[in-house]
Amino acid sequence: MSEEILSRRALSIEPSLTLQISAKAKELEAKGRDICNLSAGEPDFEAPNEVLKATSDALSKGFTKYGPASGDIDLRKSITKKLQEKNNIDIGLDNVMITNGAKQAIYNLFQVLLNEGDEVIIPAPYWLSYPQIVKLAGGKPIVLKSHPETSFKIDIQELCSKISPRTKFIILNTPNNPTGKILEKKELIEIADIVRQNKNINILSDEIYECILEKGFRHYSLASIASDIKNRIFTINGFAKGWAMTGWRVGYLAGREDVIKASSSLQSQSTSNVCSFAQKGAIAALQMGPEYFEKINEIYDKRRNLLVNGLNKIKNISFSNPNGAFYAFPKLPNNSISSIDFCKKAIDDFGLVVVPGIVFGDDQCIRISCAASHQKIIDGIERLQKSIYKYYQL
Ligand SMILES: Cc1ncc(COP(=O)(O)O)c(C=O)c1O
């Protein structure tokens, strides 16, 4: 297709580099190369049996028809209860809608709230889709950098300096993809104060990794800490990461009623309801007790430790320990090689697949996932060390 036929909107979207990297890895694997893939953005285990059963029961009972665009009423009730009881968010049924993954919740929100030229402050490193989704809605991403040397903390003064009369949103993501860092309560309080002082600013709080936490760490929802400005806080979440339900495509958006209504209308004219039987699986996920997360977090803690201990042994890289999600985001020794070139060379020379930091807003870093077996993590670290020592002559 010639470029002229494409809309300006389509032309503004950047192709996914991660897809290029994984296509290359697959091609080499098909040729019989020994590949160690630590690029996964999804859990490496199956969804819980309870979820599988509830989903297949729904299918066999014929729960396969169109449903309400805003979501299955029973799932919306369960999510409302969860947000009230577990997250301490003062919210009602009309403040919640179901979306096709957390991604569609973010997409809908920006489509219904951004006007051409509205600015969205995105702390980096960020999840790679945020800037693209902002641009698709006509918005302008304003990136706020942070660094491993300062534990990827958001610099509050710098945040304030990025605020302009066009600032409509700040995006928060805790625990963070790709750094695995968690926003502390006091940081959230500081950010809430800034929002209080700037009446046009809203917050998108992406909490999709809330259940994947290192022992001793706690997740706080901004909407529970700053209930006086809850009308300007939009909580995003989903079932993909916590319950390994990536393919179910069930997420949700919670916030003020008029925005939920507008977002449901948008959804009714675009994708309609989220897959009916998948939503029944999500209800079963919410019914699972704390033992489920104790079990998976024990596994992730061991893997995170393995990754951190391995990275600690590699000379001349800096990183900040992740305390949530399943990633680390180390900084390469210097900027003589772009993160894309580093990742391409590491696949060619050592069969190691990791994600270039440029897609997360930092071209000197790479993202390594520990959603993989111990053996694979150990193997990947060895290959990473060899790559770094070779390319930086250490
Ligand atoms: C931080 C973050 N937010 C949102 C999403 C989207 O999640 P979903 O698969 O539910 O659309 C992801 C997926 O990788 C993510 O990492």
Q: How far apart are CA 284 and CA 297, in angstroms?
A: 19
Residue 2 has pLDDT above 70, yes or no: no
Mean per-residue pLDDT, 129-155? 96
Report how many domains make up the chain. 2
Q: Are 58 and 280 in contact (CB under 8 A)?
A: yes
CA-based nearest residue to 238, from 259, 212, 268, 272: 212
The CATH number for 125's domain is: 3.40.640.10
Looking up residue 311, the CATH number of its domain turns out to be: 3.90.1150.10
* Residue 323 belongs to domain spanning: 3-46+291-388
pLDDT at 73: 98
Tens of pLDDT along 210-233? 999 999 999 999 999 999 999 999
Average per-residue pLDDT in the chain?
Answer: 96
Selection from 172, 174, 240 nearest residue 213 by Cα: 174
Checking if the pLDDT of 167 tops 80, the result is: yes
Span 182-199, mean pLDDT?
97
How far from 324 is each of 63, 214, 303, CA to CA, in Å? 36, 6, 11
Last residue of a domain, one of 253, 286, 319: 286
Residue 276 has pLDDT above 80, yes or no: yes
Structure-model confidence comparison of residues 19 and 288, the more confident one: 288
Residues contacting residue 349 through CB under 8 Å, at least 6 positions apart = 387, 390
Asked if 349 and 319 count as a contact pair (C-beta separation under 8 A), the reply is: no
Q: Looking at ligand 1, which atom is closest to the CA of residue 106?
A: 4
Distance CA 226, CA 235 (A): 12
| Residues 6 or more apart whose Cβ sits within 8 Å of residue 216 | none
Mean pLDDT over residues 249-268, rounded? 98
Between helix 49-60 and helix 276-286 the angle, nearest 10°, is: 140
Scanning the structure block, which residue is given the tokens 């990136």? 143
What is the whole-number distance in angstroms between the Cα of residue 153 and the centre of ligand 1?
Answer: 21
pLDDT tens, 23-82? Answer: 888 888 899 999 999 998 899 999 999 999 999 999 999 999 999 999 999 999 999 999
Task: Give residue 102 CA to ligand 1 midpoint distance, Å.
Answer: 6
Instruction: Give the pLDDT of residue 134.
Output: 97
Residues 27 and 96 both lie in one domain: no
Bridge partners (DSSP) of residue 369 are 327
Q: Which of 248, 267, 286 is the last residue of a domain?
A: 286
Residues with Cβ < 8 Å from 223, sequence gap 6 or more?
87, 89, 90, 91, 205, 230, 233, 235, 254
Give the pLDDT confidence score for residue 21 in this predicted structure: 80
CB of 388 closer than 6 angstroms to any ligand 1 atom: no
For residue 289, report the distance from its CA to the centre of ligand 1, in Å.
23
Over 90: is that where the pLDDT of 128 sits? yes
pLDDT in the model for residue 3: 56
Q: Is the pLDDT of residue 300 over 80?
A: yes
**Ligand 1 centroid distance, CA of 40 (Å):** 12
- Same-domain check for residues 278 and 299: no
